[in-house]
Amino acid sequence: MSGAAEQLHSAKDVAAGRANVPHTSMFVRMLVRAAVLRRGRAASALFAMVVAAAVATAMLNLYVDVQAKLRREFRNYGANIIVVGKDSASLPANALTQVETVVAGHGVVAPFALVVARAGDGQPIVVAGTDFDRVRQLDRWWSVSSWPSAPQQALVGVRALSVVSPKKQPFDLEFQGHTIHLTAAGTVQTGAAEDSRVYLSLADFVAWTGVQPSTIEVAANGSPEEIAAIMNQLQQAIPAADVRPVRQIMEGEARVLGKTRATLLAAAALIILTAALCVLSTLMGWVFDRRRDFAIMKALGASDGLLNGFFAAEAAALGAMGAVIGFVLGIGIAAWIGRANFHAPVVPRFGVLPFVLAGSMVVTLLSAILPISLLRRVQPAVILRGE
């Protein structure tokens, strides 16, 4: 290290600085010089503070955001609210628009109309009319070979295919004397009831059967309270309908979310505790290291209050600086974790800043005051003699 040369250089700087700014308060000057002259140790203390603040910010940000992120994953399970006509009657014609108005961008809505029709050989088969664009967004787990794009095209369940169109030929379906001529655009496989059905576009379906949708499936985003509010509004908007929650989805979601958050909270607590202790030990070492400064100040007649104030101000400045830099860094880390794991950045929560700032101050002040109170009991002469 070229410490000696640097110190010489900085000594000149000090002299120059003193000549130019004669009225700088001694207190401020001591603070600044303390940090500048012992760059290495000050930097390592600041580094520890920055890392601790960054980790704390990232963990708190994740903790706040993880619920929203996981809720989005759970919306892939499809509908969590089902609107059906009372006593399996059709819904009023304007029901879909009303549901859309209530949900208004906070989810996906898809209508379904169902009848039992007869295939060519007279076998009963369930035929559903729906809006393919909406279903694609709502039921992402459907494994579809190719979606219908033109009128008179149908999406045929894998099990239904062998009944209606085993050789992929065009087929007829009959409902109450009306016949519709269809071609199979693709197959759908879900492992559930959909496999035994034939899906048409709602326009074709209504033109053929005259039956209006009887079920509207809604995948609504939000917390349990928001979803309950949406259900309430839906019930009021369409009194002729039964609005039901899909309970297994809601309960599973609540459980998994709760447990994930609890695990994350435990992890965050452990990490923040470790980081705080890291800061504590580094800073205590730093302050302890400067016991000679302390002793000289005391020997020169500094009061206890001034000494406490000096070290506290130093710690507070370090804490605040570390917290701000760490906060920016932590937001970056959280955003990166969001991108890497959830493919969506974690939104910065500036509400976390006061907590990180206050926490940093408390930890740094604590780590300054502990060694000072130990040193205060010792005579300055003893310290200066290096014992």
Partner 1 sequence: MFVRLVYESFRRQKRRKLLAGAAITLGVTVATAMIAVATDIGDKMNRELRTIGANLLITPQEDTLDVEIGGVNLKPPSDGAFLNEADLPKIKGTFWHNNITGFAPVLPVNVTLERDGKTENLTLLGTYFAKQISFGKEEFTTGVRSTHPWWKVSGMWPGDSSQDVLLGERLAARLSAKTGDALTLSGRSLHVSGILSTGGAEDDEVVGPIALAQEILGKPGAVRRVYVSALTKPEDALGRRDPKSMSGPVYDRWYCSPYPQSIAFQLQEAIPHSHAEQIRQVAQNEGAVLTRIEGLIFLVTLAALFASALAVSAAMATAIFERRAEVGLMKALGAGRFAVASIFFAEATLLALLGGLVGFAAGGMLAQQIGRSIFNSAITIPPVLLPVILAIAVIVTFAGSAAAIRKAVGLDPVFALRGEL
The CA-atom distances, in angstroms, between 203 and each of 113, 130, 132, 153, 171 are: 11, 8, 11, 11, 18
Contact assessment for residue 69 and residue 347, using Cβ atoms and an 8 Å cutoff = no
- CB-nearer residue toward partner 1: 247 or 377: 247
Q: How far is the CB of 49 from partner 1 (least distance, A)?
A: 11
248 in contact with partner 1 (CB under 8 A)? yes
Map the footprint of partner 1 across residues 271-290, applying CB under 8 A.
Answer: 271, 273-275, 277-278, 281-282, 284-285, 288-289
Nearest CB to partner 1, comparing residues 223 and 281: 281
Is the Cβ of residue 178 or residue 255 nearer to partner 1 in the bound state?
255
68 forms part of the interface with partner 1 (CB under 8 A): no
Name, in order, each residue with C-beta under 8 angstroms of 75's C-beta and a sequence gap of 6 or more. Answer: 107, 108, 219, 221
Considering only residues 298 through 337, tell me which ones interact with partner 1, judged by CB under 8 A. Answer: 333, 337
Residue count, binding to partner 1 (CB under 8 A)? 77
Q: How far is the CB of 20 from partner 1 (least distance, A)?
A: 30
Q: List the one residue from 8, 11, 266, 306 that touches partner 1 (CB under 8 A).
A: 266
Could you tell me which residues come within 8 angstroms of residue 291 by beta carbon, excluding any fewer than 6 positions away?
Answer: 371, 375, 383
Contact between 153 and 195 under an 8 Å Cβ cutoff? The reply is no
DSSP per-residue codes, 333-352: HHHHHIIIIISSPPPP-TTH
For 179: left if phi > 0, alpha if psi spans -120 to 50, otherwise beta; the answer is beta
For residue 88, state whether it binds partner 1 (rule: CB under 8 A): yes
Is 110 strand, coil or helix?
Answer: strand
Residue closer to partner 1 (CB basis): 21 or 341: 341
Minimum distance of partner 1 from residue 262's CB (angstroms) = 5
Minimal distance, residue 81 CB to partner 1, in Å: 10
Contact 222, 71 (CB under 8 A): yes
Near partner 1 in 2-41, by CB under 8 A: none
Q: Are 83 and 218 in contact (CB under 8 A)?
A: yes
Distance in Å, CB of 364 to partner 1, minimum: 14
- Chain residues 109-168 in contact with partner 1, contact rule CB under 8 A: 114, 116, 123-126, 139, 141-143, 159-160, 163
| Binder among 68, 77, 207, 347 for partner 1 (CB under 8 A) | 77
Q: How many CA atoms lie within 13 A of 133 on its CB side?
A: 2
367 near partner 1, rule: CB under 8 A: no
Q: Exactly one of 122, 191, 239, 305 binds partner 1 (CB under 8 A); which one?
A: 191
Using the rule CB under 8 A, give the single segment among 145-153, 220-228, 256-264, 371-379 that binds partner 1: 256-264
* Interface residue with partner 1, options 42, 260, 307, 332 (CB under 8 A): 260
SS3 letters across 23-62: CCCHHHHHHHHHHHHCHHHHHHHHHHHHHHHHHHHHHHHH
Residues from 195 through 224 that contact partner 1 (CB under 8 A): 196, 214-215
Report whether 362 contacts 323 (CB < 8 A). no
